[in-house]
Structure 1
Amino acid sequence: MTTPEEKHRTDSANLLLFIALLMLTIFTIWIFKHKRMRFIHETGLAIVYGLIIGVIIKYSTVSGNAPQMGNVTCKQNTSVVPSYVYVNYNNSNYLFTRHKIYKYHIPVLLLFSVFSVMTFDPELFFNILLPPIIFHAGYSLKKRHFFRNIGSILTFAFIGTVLSALVVGSIMFGFVSWMMVYNTDPTFTFGFVDCLLFGAIVSATDPVTVLAVFKELKVDVNLDALLFGESVLNDAVAIVLVSSIQKYQSARSSVFDSGAFFSALGSFIGVFLGSFAIGALAAVITACMFKFTKICHYPVLETSIFFLMSWSSFLLAEAVGFTGIVSVLFCGVLQAHYTYNNLSTESKARTKELFELLNFLAENFIFGYMGVAMFTFSHHHFNAIFIFGAFVAVLVSRACNIYPLSFLLNLGRKRKISRNIQHMMMFAGLRGAIAFTLAIRNTCTTGKQMMFSTTLLIVFFTVWVLGGGTTQMLTWLNIKVGVDEDDVAAVEALDLDHQNTETQDSGPQPKYADSAWMFKNWYKFDKNYLKPILTHAGPPLSASLPSCCAPVANCLTSPRA
């Protein structure tokens, strides 16, 4: 048995090795940036180094030192499996804890770790590493271009993600049916709902590699906004979709009944809206806190509260049964829109840099761990038919997402989504940290292990091949680079003035004019009411509210307005 001191030293060595992995990745990134090499992104480098470390660990670890799995059959009168079990082993007493994630269907109460060394609890990724990544995506959002394309982004993120999951699930069901012909394990089951679950997992796109190249080359702002906006909201939709499917999946079979299907649909909508409400509430409370207090005179305290309130939105949503990722995403968007204006100059810089740093470290840690897990995860299950089907399904589902929806959107868009931009969006459907985290959270059956192993291969392929070929694809498709955002803003302003002039001189306008009217009114409402209430911005509320509300207006209006 390993003593607590030995375990402590082993854990310290493991963490030190991961820190060394991150440092090696960072130095290599610096070399690549200095030499202007773009054939592989930093996340791809982290995977490569992780694979190397995984190989070293796998083939250098003495088998006798690896954790051992023991099967012990116990009988109890209670039907509840105990969380802790005291065991007398060779006249020595030991305390074993039940592992809540990796629980196998065997008569075992003493559940040992199924990983070897260099492993972490999957909840670490979901509760610690993902929130700063998602929050940073919302906090660094380029609002102007995002909201100009909000209709298209929502279409790709919501309809496109659900459509992708259904297409992947349907295609995989056909391949799984073929696979079952050669199956020799009578206990192995993989139904249509399992296929849908896998479809939801791999529908979470993460084009971090492509977006990094876009930023460096200053690609067309509309393409950048469409792809970034889709990826941000797509992650949230995929997570809620996975949660809904898992929640209403039968415990004894892999089928949904009709009642469960509509319950899952209602759960999907309810969880998403509830999570959004919690994120918005956290942002509003933070904005008001900084507006009506003098904490801005203490930037360290100000930054600390901002950080803790933002993280609390994730924890609160998880605590009440919603999805923290959705909550922290919209919290980040609203913190950037409202709270940021109330921060001191020092805190504005600190919060941006803090979450950029956390995002960088968390993202590279996850991708590095993916490489390590390829060799240290002890329950991989690879099936050639399933893997081939997964790659086909991912490709077809991305095409079914981008091309039909772009055609429908172009019917009402003033600025059409060109064919080359559609090809680039199709190419940029990389999988990454979100898909990995969703897959590793549950590996309790052979089918779930097969999903996890296949997801790893999909992530590796898309990051290395698609991510590495981004620059060449931009050149081949003749997509505009070196675009100055200020010049784009000036052109858009002229177009808007021209459109307003035409609106005054003509009759009925096309559908996009109605859309512009809707967002124009929302902008006025936000400027005249929400921003004066939540920030120091003007105009004073007394100019917007009726005279009977003057006391309230004077109370809520900032002296700086």
Structure 2
Amino acid sequence: MNAYHLLIILISLSAGFSYINHRFIKMPFVIGLFFLSSILSLVILSTKWWDLVHYVEIKDTLEHIDISSFILDIMLGFLLFAGALHTSWANIKSQLRPISLFAIGGVLSSTIIIAGLFYGVCHLLGINIDLLHCLIFGALISPTDPIAVLGILTKAGVSKKIESTIVGESLFNDGVGVVVFIALLETLKLGKSEIDFGHFGMLFLQEAVGGMAFGLLLGFALHKLLKSIDDYETEVLLTVAFVMSGYAISSLLHLSGALAMVIMGLLVGNYKKEKAMSDRTQEYVTKFWELVDVVLNAILFISIAFVMVVIDFESIYILVAILSIFIVLLARIIIVYFPKLVFPRFIKFTNSEAKIIVWGGLRGGLSIALVLSIPDSENKLILIGATYACVVFSILVQGLSIGKVAEKLSKK
């Protein structure tokens, strides 16, 4: 199966599932697609008992598709730029302190908390896993995903403060989480048993600070080009070219392409937008990137649902996966409530608002892509199962209930 045939299947499934969901099920868009894709994955899994030949063929095909590279190297840049482009900097700025704290300190703290608890649980169950793999799991599962929850929060009528905090945190912590993950993964690939914190710190600064600086450079350059002409077709093409080339160049320079795309998107979408683009161009650019966002998210959530087919469902791994859900939730509670209690003047959230932020911290496709990029080993199988369980719970349980939770708590 070549790439074009695969794209045909993904787009066709996206369109079909989207229609079924909108016509009959009426779940939020990406949650409905993930739900229906998961059902299809279960049907494929069931063929193991009644059509083994075709099951083996399908599993072999899925195992040879590099979903991780597809998400990390192609889709992530587009998704982050589209999300940032439609985000109000004024709203982000108003909640910059908690966003910065959650996106940087929260990701680092969550990585350590999850790693420690996961390491302890595995060893209590007699599973021999090293601390480095546990830290990698903490880094890949800590970033939150705004895609599935944003529309629900808006409909639930939550305050702009909460919406801006969750969206801003997730935009930036995707980039921070990827940087931490890359630094830890490099240590793993070098075969070191101990982390060189000096090297880790330098790599983190290079990726994070360099990525944001490069994003500013790209954003101002694109702004100048958009301002110099008034032709919506050319201007749309320029945004696409800057996303594709900017993300690729970031990778070559060992800078965080994720953070670069977030900064570039925020700048283009907010900095003197009226002077850079006419009303007509703004309309076309906005609608184009909204469509890109919808299509890529549909493909993303269908792709990650099919990961279920290649997971090793050993009983002990299932138990670890279930326990990992509680570990991730506990870490989320700690990183939201600890600064609220220790720095009440810095983090000004009511208990109801803090609960919405905790429950609204969804995990998504980025976590799946990162775990699939880990070198093959027995530990990788454990982490894939744990990551998938957390993402499924996050999307189907938290995603479907966050609206009611937010609506109920907002009335208090």
- The alignment's TM-score, normalised by the length of structure 2, stands at 0.90
Change in CA separation of 1:14 and 1:246 when aligned onto 2, cut-off 3 Å: closer
Give the AA of the match of 2:37.
G
Verify the 8 A CA contact 2:332 2:358 in the aligned structure 1. yes
Quick one: distance in 2 between partners of 1:62 and 1:17? 22
Whose RCO is larger (CA < 8 A, sep 6+)? 2
Q: Following superposition of structure 1 onto structure 2, how do residues 156-167 of structure 1 map, counting pairs within 5 Å?
A: 156-167=102-113
Select the structure of larger CA radius of gyration: 1
Q: Is this contact kept in 1: 2:158–2:410, CA < 8 A?
A: no
Aligned length: 407
Note the C-alpha offset of 1:29: 4.4
Partner of 2:279 in structure 1? 345
CA shift, 1:367, in A, is 1.1
Tell me how far 1:378 sits from its aligned partner: 6.2
Structure 1 residues 72-127: Cα deviation after superposition (integer angstroms, max 9, x where no partner):
xxxxxxxxxxxxxxxxxxxxxxxxxxxxxxxxxxxxxxxxx965479444211112
> Cα RMSD (Å) of the superposition?
2.6
Q: Contact between 2:324 and 2:386, CA under 8 Å: does it hold in 1?
A: yes
Equivalent position of 1:392 in the other structure: 326
Seen in structure 2, the aligned counterparts of structure 1 residues 151 and 394 have a Cα distance that, compared at 3 Å, is same
**Are the aligned partners of 2:156 and 2:404 in contact in 1 as well (CA < 8 Å)?**
no
Matched with 1:536 is none
C-alpha contact 1:431 1:462 (8 A) present in aligned 2: yes
Aligned-partner Cα distance in 1 for 2:359–2:138: 18
Q: Report the counterpart of residue 22 of structure 2 in structure 1.
A: 30
Q: Aligned partners of 2:319 and 2:12: how far apart in 1?
A: 37
Please report how far the alpha carbon of residue 400 of structure 1 lies from its aligned counterpart in structure 2 after TM superposition: 0.9
Map of 2:237 onto structure 1: 304
Structure 2: segments with no counterpart, 5+ residues: none
Deviation string 1:175-234 (CA, Å, 9 cap, x unpaired) is 12223x3x5xxxxx5211111110011101114332211222332111111111111111
**1:411 maps to what in 2?**
345
The answer to whether the aligner puts 1:15 opposite 2:23 as a matched pair is no
Between structures 1 and 2, the one with greater helix share: 2
Q: Which residue does the alignment assign to 2:206?
A: 270
Instruction: Give secondary structure in 1 for the equivalent of 2:254.
Output: coil
Residue in structure 2 matched with residue 550 of structure 1 by the alignment: none
Q: The residue matched to 2:188 in structure 1 has which SS?
A: coil
CA deviation profile, 1:297-353 (whole Å, cap 9, x unmatched): x32112211221133221111111122111111111111123733123222111111
Instruction: Show the counterpart of 1:450.
Output: 382
The equivalent position to 1:50 in structure 2, one of 18, 22, 37, is 37
| Alpha-carbon spacing, 1:121–1:228, altered in 2? closer, same or farther (3 Å) | closer
Matched AA of 1:156: F
CA distance in 1, matches of 2:137, 2:266: 29
Report the Cα offset of residue 253 of structure 1: 5.0
| 8 Å CA contact retained: 2:78, 2:243 | no
Aligned partner of residue 410 in structure 1, secondary structure = coil
The answer on whether the counterparts of 1:420 and 1:477 sit within 8 Å (CA) in structure 2 is yes
In the alignment, which of 168, 176, 180 is matched to residue 122 of structure 2? 176
Residue aligned with 1:411, SS: coil
Change (3 A) 1:250 1:443: closer
Give the CA deviation at 1:57. 4.2
Match of 2:223 among 287, 297, 300: 287
**1-structure distance, mates of 2:100, 2:271:** 22
Structure 1 residue 462 and structure 2 residue 398: aligned? no
* Equivalent position of 2:100 in the other structure: 154
- Find out whether 1:331 has 2:264 as its counterpart: yes
The equivalences for 1:115-126 within 5 A come to: 115-116=61-62, 119-126=65-72
Aligned to 1:495: none
Distance 2:51 2:71 in 1: 25
Amino acid of the residue matched to residue 11 of structure 2?
Answer: I
The structural deviation recorded for 1:142 is: 1.6
* CA contact 2:67–2:369 (8 Å) conserved in 1: no
Matches within 5 A, 1:141-540: 141-179=87-125, 181=126, 183=127, 190-249=129-188, 251-256=190-195, 260-291=196-227, 293=228, 295-296=229-230, 298-338=231-271, 340-341=273-274, 342-375=276-309, 377=310, 383-412=317-346, 416-479=348-411
Change (3 A) 1:427 1:56: closer
Taking the aligned partners of 1:116 and 1:234, their CA distance within structure 2 comes to 29
Change (3 A) 1:364 1:178: same
Supply the distance in 2 between the matched residues of 1:363 and 1:393 (Cα, whole angstroms): 27
Which deviates further from its counterpart, 387-396 or 429-438?
Answer: 387-396
Residue equivalent to 1:506: none
Counterparts of 2:311 and 2:35, CA distance in 1: 20
**C-alpha distance after superposition, 1:141-196 (max 9, x if no partner):** 122221011111101111111111110011011112223x3x5xxxxx52111111
Shift in Å, 1:18: 1.9
Go from structure 1 to structure 2 and tell me whether the alpha carbon gap of 1:13 and 1:145 turns closer, same or farther (over 3 Å shift).
Answer: closer
Partner of 1:3: none
- Over 3 Å counting, the alpha-carbon distance change for 1:25 and 1:118 in structure 2 is farther
* Consecutive unaligned residues in structure 1, runs of 5 or more: 1-6, 69-112, 184-188, 481-561
Structure 2 CA distance for aligned equivalents of residues 236 and 419 of structure 1? 28
